[in-house]
């Protein structure tokens, strides 16, 4: 306590579980020394300013999160009709193109026009989906930082989820005549039971696959699962360009990306948060032969 910046009283708190203040306090020091009183006053003032700054930072942080949340929702809302309607037009153009079989001059011109329309619509759909993923990533980061990421826990076969996702990506890659090949070592009938959020774990696995595809122009992406003690470990190994040494120390942090590679650098941060929310861990390393990288994560097995 400081009075008129002339007197100070400092009382030691000895035991705050006692019933009376007399029993709770220890040594007390009274002073009317100017230097002592001023030093206590400066401590009080520093603490007061610090508490005010902390409150301002909390308000600023809340406003920032609210803005990001609203912005992400506003981005997501118009994306659905853009994607839906563009895909509908895309399928119609594809159908029209397939019905043209004769090779008259007018029909050749018409088919060329349809192909141009098809390419433009495909570009619209692709970029609309990219914006949609960005909005979802921003929302997820907001939920993670505000500790409001919710999981719908259920018991399911992880092998089903991974084998289905790998097959979907494999089919998509084969359509583009890519030099990239997918390999999956586990048999489809093998059962690996885990307890977790199926959609979030699918998002995690898809993030890692997308990352491998992005940095692997040709070669293979191998997915393997192994049981170890009471955990299951999933490895995604590629023959791409590997992990940039400058990025490696902050690989799983926000915005860990280089301008020339593109992307927001949010995918691995979100993946790490999803894994840790399930009681697992995630890591990455450069392959022993120096070609490509391996990303792996572990999850507890269901008992």
DSSP codes, the chain: -EETTTEEEEEEE--TTSSSHHHHEEEEEEE--HHHHHHHHHHHHHHHHHHHHHHHHHHHHHHHHHHHHHHHHHHHHHHHHHHHHHHHHHHHHHHHHHH-----HHHHHHHHHHHHHHHHHHHHHHHHHHHHHHHHHHHHHHHHHTT-----EEEEEHHHHHHHHHHHHHHHHHHTT-SEEEEE-S-TT---EEEEEHHHHHHHHHHHHHHHHHT-SSEEEEEEEEEETTEEEEEEEE-SS---TTTGGGTTSTT---TTT-S-S-HHHHHHHHHHHTT-EEEEEE-TTSSSEEEEEEEEBP-
How many angstroms separate the CA atoms of 27 and 10, rounded? 8
The closest of 136, 152, 137, 161 to 277, measured between CA atoms, is 152
According to the model, what pLDDT value does residue 86 have?
81
**Distant-in-sequence, close-in-space partners of 231: CB < 8 Å, separation ≥ 6:** 280, 298, 299, 300, 301
According to the model, what pLDDT value does residue 179 have?
80
pLDDT 10s per residue in the chain (303 long)?
889 889 999 889 888 888 888 888 889 889 999 888 898 889 888 988 988 888 888 887 777 777 766 766 677 677 778 888 888 887 776 776 666 554 455 556 666 776 777 778 778 887 887 787 887 887 888 788 777 788 899 999 999 999 899 988 888 887 776 788 888 877 766 789 999 999 999 999 999 999 898 888 888 999 999 888 899 999 999 999 888 888 888 899 887 776 555 567 788 999 999 999 999 999 999 998 889 999 999 999 987
According to the model, what pLDDT value does residue 197 have?
94
Place of tokens 């390419």: 119
CATH number of 155-300: 3.30.565.10
Contact indicator for 37, 31 with CB cutoff of 8 Å:
yes
Q: What is the CB neighbour count within 10 angstroms for residue 240?
A: 22
Place of tokens 């996702």: 165
Max Cα-Cα span within the chain: 107
The closest of 234, 239, 225 to 182, measured between CA atoms, is 239
Angle in degrees, CA 195, 196, 202, rounded to 5: 130
According to the model, what pLDDT value does residue 150 have?
84
According to the model, what pLDDT value does residue 209 have?
92
**Domain residue spans in the chain?**
2-58, 69-145, 155-300
What is each CA distance from 296 to 76, 188, 214, in whole angstroms? 31, 20, 17
Global confidence as pTM: 0.66
Rounded to 5 degrees, φ, ψ at 239 are -115, 35
How many angstroms separate the CA atoms of 96 and 114, rounded? 8
């Amino acid at each position: 306590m400081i009075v008129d910046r002339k007197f100070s009283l400092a009382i030691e708190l000895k035991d705050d579980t006692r019933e009376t203040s007399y029993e709770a306090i220890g040594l007390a020091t009274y002073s009317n020394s100017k230097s002592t009183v001023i030093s206590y006053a400066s401590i009080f003032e520093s603490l007061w300013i610090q508490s005010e700054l902390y409150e301002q930072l909390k308000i600023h942080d809340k406003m920032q999160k609210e803005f990001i949340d609203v912005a992400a929702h506003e981005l997501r809302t118009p994306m659905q009709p853009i994607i839906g309607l563009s895909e509908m037009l895309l399928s119609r153009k594809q159908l029209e193109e397939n019905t043209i079989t004769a090779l008259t001059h007018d029909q050749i011109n018409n088919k060329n026009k349809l192909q141009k329309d098809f390419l433009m619509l495909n570009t619209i759909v692709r970029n609309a989906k990219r914006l949609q993923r960005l909005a979802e990533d921003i929302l997820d980061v907001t939920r993670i930082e505000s500790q409001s990421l919710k999981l719908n826990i259920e018991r399911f076969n992880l092998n089903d989820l991974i084998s289905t996702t790998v097959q979907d990506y494999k089919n998509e890659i084969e359509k583009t005549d890519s030099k990239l090949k997918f390999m999956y070592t586990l048999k489809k009938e093998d059962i690996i039971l885990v307890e977790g959020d199926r959609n979030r774990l699918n998002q995690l696995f898809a993030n890692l696959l997308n990352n491998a595809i992005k940095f692997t122009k040709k070669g293979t992406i191998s997915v393997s699962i192994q049981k170890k003690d009471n955990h299951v470990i999933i490895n995604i190994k590629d023959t791409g360009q590997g992990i940039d040494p400058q990025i490696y120390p902050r690989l799983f942090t926000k915005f860990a990306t280089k301008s020339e590679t593109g992307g927001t650098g949010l995918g691995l941060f979100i993946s790490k948060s999803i894994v840790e929310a399930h009681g697992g861990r995630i890591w990455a390393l450069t392959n022993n032969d120096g070609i490509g990288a391996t990303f792996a994560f572990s999850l507890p097995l269901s008992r």
